[in-house]
Amino acid sequence: MQVLDGKALAQTIKEELKVKVDAIRQAGGKIPHLAAVLVGENPASQVYVRNKVRSCEAVGFRSTLLRRPQDITQSELLQIVTELNADPDIDGYIVQLPLPAHIDEDAINLAIDPRKDVDGFTPVNIGRMTLGLDAYLPATPNGIMVMLDRYGIETSGKEVVVLGRSNIVGTPMTVLLSRKSNPGNATVTLCHSRTKDLKAHTLHADIIVAAIGIPEMVTADMVKEGAVVIDVGINRVDDASRSKGYRLAGDVDYAGLKDKVSAMTPVPGGVGPMTVVSLLMNTLKASQKR
Ligand code: GUN
């Protein structure tokens, strides 16, 4: 089995980005500047945002982290979004999800200027992506497309099963994989919690993308021999033998699948780092458009 090493690939792409940023600096151009808004103390979000900020530094971008307490009001958060939209120094920004329950995530998303929406979550960017127009593509699905491309995994004419219909992974993944492009041109089935006989679908898949958020739900009996498996899940599973009291598990039973599939992403070190580089690529693009 080939391990699809997102960590190593992301490092390669970051080095390529650094060369581009160095050239911009030499030419006296504007250094890309990403802002990230982190609300509350969600431990996973803190890790993700820290990785994003560190990765900006690693490639020579500027970054600004805006931390706000869990009890921030909707109007205070909207005010921050309005200020980021207007700030000429910020090329792009993200509002890390999930937001606290009292905040209307849709209202925040709708307030983000699509020209600064480097997460690719706003209706304009999702619409443009769906129409095949130039757009900021959502970071995780695009990171997976970059990975499939760089690893030379054929998608044209393949049967792909996407597990999970979230706005930020599953749904856009189906758009990118089915469009007329390379990678793309796949026959895509989107499965979700109401799918009857999930296994009947996954057993036919040449490629499975699992983005459901249930630890190790995809087991060896569900996959075809030689399939390619992309695991988007990052789940904390209680484990008293670890110093932190938990371990990270994907949505896929990696140990159970590794002798059956032809290629698979590990967790951690698979899709996660690709999401971050995809965000950096969008930020560079945003700064060059301005
Ligand atoms: N939460 C989980 N993934 C993401 C992401 O890609 N962007 C943001 N803003 N929040 C997330």
- Closest-CA residue, ligand 1 atom 9, reads 96
- Tally of structural domains, the chain: 2
Residue 18 resides in a domain: no
Mean pLDDT, all residues of the chain: 97
- Asked whether the predicted pLDDT for residue 252 surpasses 90, the reply is yes
Domain that includes residue 169, residue range: 139-272
Quote the ligand 1 centre to 95 CA distance (angstroms).
8
290: how many CB neighbours lie within 10 A of its CB?
12
pLDDT in tens, 100-124: 999 999 999 999 999 999 999 999 9
Domain check: are 155 and 264 in the same one?
yes
Domain check: are 161 and 237 in the same one?
yes
102: how many CB neighbours lie within 10 A of its CB?
10
- Mean pLDDT, rounded, for 142-155: 98
pLDDT at 223: 98
- Mean pLDDT, rounded, for 201-210: 98
Question: Which residues are identified as catalytic?
Answer: 52, 96, 119
Residue 32 resides in a domain: yes
117 lines ligand 1 (CB under 6 A): no
Per-residue pLDDT band for 197 (boundaries 50, 70, 90) equals very high
165 in a known ligand binding site? yes
- Asked whether the predicted pLDDT for residue 152 surpasses 90, the reply is yes
Rounded to two decimals, the ipTM of the complex is 0.92
Domain check: are 99 and 152 in the same one?
no
Q: What's the alpha-carbon Rg for the chain, to the nearest Å?
A: 19
pLDDT at 290: 82
CA distance 160 to 139: 19
Domain check: are 200 and 106 in the same one?
no
pLDDT at 129: 98
pLDDT at 224: 98
- Asked whether the predicted pLDDT for residue 1 surpasses 90, the reply is yes
262 in a known ligand binding site? no
Residue 19 resides in a domain: no
- Mean pLDDT, rounded, for 48-69: 98
Q: Which two tokens stand for residue 222?
A: 């569900």
Question: Percent of the chain, pLDDT > 70?
Answer: 100
Residue 283 resides in a domain: no
CA distance 224 to 200: 11
Domain harbouring 53, CATH code: 3.40.50.10860
Domain check: are 42 and 93 in the same one?
yes
Quote the ligand 1 centre to 204 CA distance (angstroms).
30
